[in-house]
Amino acid sequence: MFASAAAFSKKKPEASVSLANDDILDGLMGELHKSSKVTKHTDTKSGQPAAKKVAYNPFSVERNSFPRSEESITPKASLTVKRGLSYDKVKPQTQKNLTVSSPVSRTYSERSVSNVTVEQDEDLPENEEFNNGSQTMETTVEDSPTESIDLADIGFDDDMVDTSSKPEELEVKHDVVHDNLQMDTKKCNQLISEEILTLGWENVGNNGQSETHMDFTVDNSNLPLVTNSTGEQVLRFYWLDAYEDPYHQPGTVFLFGKVFVDSVKSHVSCCVTVKNIERRLFILPRVKRMNLKTHVESTEETTLPMVYEEFQRIAEKHRINEFRSMKVRKNYAFEILEVPVEADYLEVRYSAEHPVLPSDVKGETFSHVFGTNTSSLEHLLLNRRMKGPAWLELKCPQVPATETSWCKLEIILAKPDYISVSDNQSSPPPLVVMTLKLQTLPNPKTRQNEIVAAACLVHCDFQMDRPAPKQPYQQHFCVISKPSDSIYPFDFRDQITKQTKRMKIEITPGERGLLGFLLAKIHKLDPDLIVGHDIYGFDLDLLLHRISANKVPHWSKISRLKRTFMPKIVQSHGKATFAEKSAVCGRMLCDVQISARELIRCRSYDLSELAKQVLKQERTELDYDEVREMFSSSLQLLKLIEQTLLDSLFILNIMYELSVVPLALQITNICGNVMSRTLMGGRSERNEWLLLHAFHEKQYVCPDKEFRKKQVLPVGDDEDGDQSGSKKMAQGKRKPAYAGGLVLEPKKGFYDTYILLLDFNSLYPSIIQEYNICFTTISRSAATTEVHDDDEACLILPDHDLEPGVLPTEIRKLVDSRKLVKTLMKNSDVSHEQMMQYDIRQKALKLTANSMYGCLGFTFSRFYAKPLAALVTGKGREILMQTKDLVQKMNLDVIYGDTDSIMINTNSVELDQVYKLGNKVKSEVNKLYRLLEIDIDGVFKSMLLLKKKKYAALCVHRSPDGQVTTSQELKGLDIVRRDWCDLAKDAGKYVVSQILSGETRETIVEKIHTKLQEVGDTVRSGDIPLTLFYITKQLTKNPEDYPDKKSLPHVQVAMRFNSKGGKKMRAGDTVPYIICEDGSTMSATQRAYHPDELIKQDSLKVDTKYYLAHQIHPVVARLCDPIQGTDSAHLAECLGLDPSGYRHTTHHEETAEEDLVTLQLTMEEKFRHCDRFTFSCPSPNCGRQIVLDSVFTGNVSI
């Protein structure tokens, strides 16, 4: 498009430029490298009339449709680029000049593409087209070795469009078409100045902001050493992330973090390569030598020298030529019964470069070998006691001969013993934080997603342990590329020039240029933390796929480790694989979608919903058709850029608002894992690391990590592993492995007297402490047997005077630490910054303590112990029943109880008397236990109790000055579930507010009937916003993995959505849909459509009858069921429905969506609450009790 403008303009000869030592511009210019030559103008033959000129169509995409010019255009400005890091040891070789002609438009191309001379890169394809035009230009290209390429000092900010440049005048014939085009341009210019201010970026953009540039030179040969407390010269290093490649570099761990360099007065990125981390095996000797063929023990007792000799022979077979050994005393407390509680082991250490020993290896003189598959990273963190990001002191640092990272500073440690945690733990260094938001479009030909825009906000001084900065970002930029099947608007560059003061925008001719520019900016800015939304679920996978598809050089600049080969990229429905996650090693990734799932409850966790719930702001959503249409005009394209920048700001502010980074830092320091893994989610791994540190300090041999799926799946705990693949979810709801918490049968009805709610503080962690439940205290012979029904009662609890086990001790540390922090928060002299730090700390302690129980019942945990988990829940049921009996003996009415709480009907309307009664019950219950504590959790003025886990109540709050306020508390009702539309929820909320209002029954019923009549009339009139009809349902597996897709409306909608290309819906996503009238006679479940489909298809309209009969009526009818004076038929009549079909209906069914899911349940799931069939073996010689654990069909012989 811009080539046409260039063709009409007159240009003076321009000076060529030299851009040596620049790789990313080299990558961009590689696209211009083509073997075509400059096309010369050929005059028409004498006597022949010239061809008649026609009006040029600027929107044509046909090849050779651009007018030709008589002269080639040469680059204009000269730009010199210097090497940013002075420690580059590679000397550039002799360069040579070559001339490359390329069909590129002068006006169209950005300065960083068309106005510079760049290096030739061997990785680029030579005959790759950049633009469909015949306009050519000659570019001088200098060839230099790849090793000397660096981008540290490229002035990308200067490459943005210059506001001082004057728009180029076009010499064209004023025909009718072009005159109309100019008129449209003037109108568009007026619209931009008026409309662009309403999009939002003008109000939040940091106009005139002072940008922090990260360009400085660091002398790698002169390390910034300091003297520690013992007088040694050390490098003070704050580690943030760690990475290992056990297959290509075994025994090596890369630590990434920050080092303060006095010469530049700043903290710079640093990579520490820790080498020679040895494998450590613990070999358990047998008591007596055993014949491995016959499995018969001899009378010969084994000794450690005998073990050593046999291991030496085995090591030689596995090509382990060198090893060291020593005698150690170790403890064991886990699932292998043959291993003694305490014994002498032979510890063997050998280089990780030698092969891994099989985990099941046994010998005549030894029975078990532990630690065969333990990672080098685990050895490093445990042995050096590195518990999360902290200041380290590094002794004997060495400067590497060749660079292996993109960091500004790089050192090597010859062995891990040179690392020690510093005693001086000052504040963490500031981080460079960058948001990343991608705009994508599916290619209509290849059906693959392509990136058309990327927006980034940068903060170069983010403090992890302080409140969010007042200025959310310091720099911003947006890079844009045209889709492969379209072109830029003809006046887009002129409009970009006018917006430069507001937005920094970089224009690239194609996706390859966009990716190259993005990688260059990431390398230059060197972010420690990249923040995005669904970055693990979509963005990272897409980014790597597109980098690979476009063959963009130096892909590893997305991380901090220099690597040649990209990790294996597979089709994974958009979800990043483990290998892809490691592609950004050294830069932590924060996915606000993952963090929000753990920290808050939302209807869905897409960006629009999070912006609404967390930031209280509305976000404009764009579908693919709208994005594609925006490339038709400059105004719309500017709106797209601004919306992308606003999305980046939403992401950044959500991270600030949820305190994601400070909370992740505290949790990581508590558990002792790697912070990048904490940000990925998954509580099980964090708990695993906490216990690994604890057991390691007490000289225990820990269970080896298993990489295979265990046979028994857990239930009751929602432990989120990092890999929640479709195969795991494809089997539907998981079968209970043991009984969970006790839920008392509720006394249904409406209560207008005060209800007292008492709750045990952290019940399961408290039970573990109260009864000293641990691997080290419970008999292992009982704890390793299978658990059925009440078998947990067979486990013998330890004596009260027994020393606390590791698990109770760790939980006690967490609880005591939280109490101390909450005490500090009550001090009057605490500053706002300290209060924020204390609050984050106590939240981290609470999250960790409450999830400790989960590691016992989580199948994929290294510390999985189902009998212990069953024992904890069994004691919980016992405690709840004892509490209920105690309260009833006090002549009080227990109306409901659930796991760790009970509700008492006080039959009183005096608030002071209620609190007095609550304190009395609290005192009596707490007398029974040493560490368990029950407390008053709430007082309800009135309450509607419908069934188990479903109630609405008016909660009373009394401030210290005696002022009483009320608020609604809704638990488990339809109006708080996401699978009911907002229209039904609003009606339900109104009904609840009337029931809890305290007015007379007649008034309440009359108001409810009147409201329902209004709702019915409004729905039929069509005056309801479309958003109120949205029904949302979460996918529990990938849509294609559902066995019967036709009966599940959200699955059908997701399948149609995925078939269009672009970002796909996967397991865990929420699907919005609307039940519509489409002219068919199909059931309602097969007439579900995505909101976008309803908007675009005129033949569809909302099925109002469905919403009145199957959304509003069921919600209201269940709420009004205990209320006298109305019934289901009367409510239906008020909504305008035929009441005859509702006269004999009952309301004991579950929600409509639950009914649909029930149809898909397996036999095991349907009868999971039934008792197991038990019988005695009929054989007179046996008599063993036989228990059938699963459903069987057909003829089965026993």
Residues 664 and 678: beta-carbon distance below 8 Å: yes
**What pLDDT is stored for residue 1124 in this prediction?**
87
DSSP single-letter state for residue 1110? I
Spatial CA neighbour of 876 closest among 745, 734, 746, 768: 768
Residues 346 and 311: beta-carbon distance below 8 Å: yes
- Dump pLDDT digits (tens) for 887-906: 999 999 999 999 999 999 99
**What pLDDT is stored for residue 77 in this prediction?**
38
Separation between Cα atoms, residue 490 and residue 168, nearest integer Å: 13
Average pLDDT over residues 1149-1155: 45
Which residue reads 């940068």 in tokens? 458
Res 486 pLDDT > 80 = yes
Helix (H, G, I), strand (E, B) or coil at 85: coil
**What pLDDT is stored for residue 1115 in this prediction?**
94
Separation between Cα atoms, residue 933 and residue 758, nearest integer Å: 10
Q: What H or E segment, with its residue span, contains residue 243?
A: strand 233-244
Residues 490 and 520: beta-carbon distance below 8 Å: no
Average pLDDT over residues 194-212: 50
CATH architecture of 220-426: 2-Layer Sandwich (3.30)
Helix (H, G, I), strand (E, B) or coil at 607: helix
Q: What H or E segment, with its residue span, contains residue 459?
A: strand 449-462
Spatial CA neighbour of 464 closest among 390, 540, 384, 560: 390
Spatial CA neighbour of 724 closest among 1043, 1068, 1032: 1068
**What pLDDT is stored for residue 149 in this prediction?**
34
Res 828 pLDDT > 90 = no
Res 123 pLDDT > 70 = no
Nearest-5° Cα angle at 1053, 1050 to 1056: 150
**What pLDDT is stored for residue 890 in this prediction?**
94
pTM: 0.76
Kindly state the greatest CA–CA separation across the chain.
120
Helix spans in 286-332 (H): 304-317
**What pLDDT is stored for residue 786 in this prediction?**
53
Here the tokens at position 1041 are 């993995």
- Dump pLDDT digits (tens) for 585-635: 999 999 999 999 999 988 889 999 999 999 999 999 888 888 999 999 999
Separation between Cα atoms, residue 1030 and residue 608, nearest integer Å: 14
What's the number of CA atoms in the CB half-sphere (13 Å) around residue 836?
18
Higher pLDDT, 103 or 911: 911
Residues 6+ apart with CB under 8 A from 576: 536, 537, 540, 541, 544
**What pLDDT is stored for residue 579 in this prediction?**
75
Separation between Cα atoms, residue 680 and residue 595, nearest integer Å: 8
Separation between Cα atoms, residue 652 and residue 389, nearest integer Å: 22
Res 568 pLDDT > 60 = yes
Separation between Cα atoms, residue 1053 and residue 1050, nearest integer Å: 5
**What pLDDT is stored for residue 203 in this prediction?**
58
Fold of 706-971: Palm domain of DNA polymerase (3.90.1600)
Nearest-5° Cα angle at 1163, 1162 to 1168: 105
Which residue reads 């010369």 in tokens? 40
pLDDT confidence tier of residue 311, bands split at 50, 70 and 90: very high
Strands 137-143 and 119-120, sheet pairing: parallel
CATH 3.30.420.10 fits 194-198+430-672, yes or no: yes
**What pLDDT is stored for residue 501 in this prediction?**
81
Nearest 10 degrees: Cα torsion 770, 771, 774, 779: 170
Separation between Cα atoms, residue 584 and residue 577, nearest integer Å: 12
User: Which amino acid type is present at position 958?
Assistant: R
E runs forming strands in 262-338: 266-274, 279-285, 288-291, 296-301, 324-331
**What pLDDT is stored for residue 718 in this prediction?**
38
- Dump pLDDT digits (tens) for 1046-1099: 889 999 999 998 888 778 888 888 999 999 999 898 989 899 999 989 988 989
pLDDT confidence tier of residue 349, bands split at 50, 70 and 90: very high
**What pLDDT is stored for residue 139 in this prediction?**
32
Residues 753 and 940: beta-carbon distance below 8 Å: no
Separation between Cα atoms, residue 885 and residue 894, nearest integer Å: 9
pLDDT confidence tier of residue 855, bands split at 50, 70 and 90: confident
Residues 6+ apart with CB under 8 A from 889: none
Separation between Cα atoms, residue 534 and residue 592, nearest integer Å: 7
Separation between Cα atoms, residue 178 and residue 168, nearest integer Å: 16
Q: How far is CA 519 from CA 131, 193, 479, 806, in A?
A: 22, 32, 11, 47
Q: Which of 709-718, 849-858, 953-962 has the lowest mean pLDDT?
A: 709-718
Residues 932 and 760: beta-carbon distance below 8 Å: yes
What's the number of CA atoms in the CB half-sphere (13 Å) around residue 509?
28
Q: Which of 109-118, 373-382, 544-553, 827-836 has the lowest mean pLDDT?
A: 109-118
Domain ranges of the chain: 1-44+52-154, 194-198+430-672, 220-426, 706-971, 974-1156
Q: How far is CA 515 from CA 146, 478, 484, 558, in A?
A: 19, 12, 14, 10
Nearest-5° Cα angle at 724, 723 to 725: 95
Here the tokens at position 1106 are 């469905």
Left if phi > 0, otherwise alpha if psi is -120 to 50, otherwise beta: which for 925?
Answer: alpha
CB atoms within 10 A of CB 1140: 10
pLDDT confidence tier of residue 1111, bands split at 50, 70 and 90: very high
- Dump pLDDT digits (tens) for 226-241: 999 888 999 999 999 9
**Mean pLDDT, the chain, as a whole number?**
79
DSSP labels, 814-855: HHHHHHHHHHHHT-TT--HHHHHHHHHHHHHHHHHHHHTTHH
**What pLDDT is stored for residue 1023 in this prediction?**
87
Separation between Cα atoms, residue 67 and residue 89, nearest integer Å: 49
Separation between Cα atoms, residue 99 and residue 107, nearest integer Å: 21
Residues 885 and 754: beta-carbon distance below 8 Å: no
Residues 6+ apart with CB under 8 A from 228: 234, 393, 422
Residues 75 and 17: beta-carbon distance below 8 Å: yes
- Dump pLDDT digits (tens) for 46-95: 444 444 444 433 333 343 433 333 333 333 333 333 333 333 333 333 33
**CA of residue 330 relative to chain centroid, distance:** 39
Exposed / middle / buried, residue 1185 (Cβ in 10 Å: 0-12, 13-18, 19+): exposed
Res 936 pLDDT > 50 = yes
Fold of 974-1156: Topoisomerase I; Chain A, domain 4 (1.10.132)
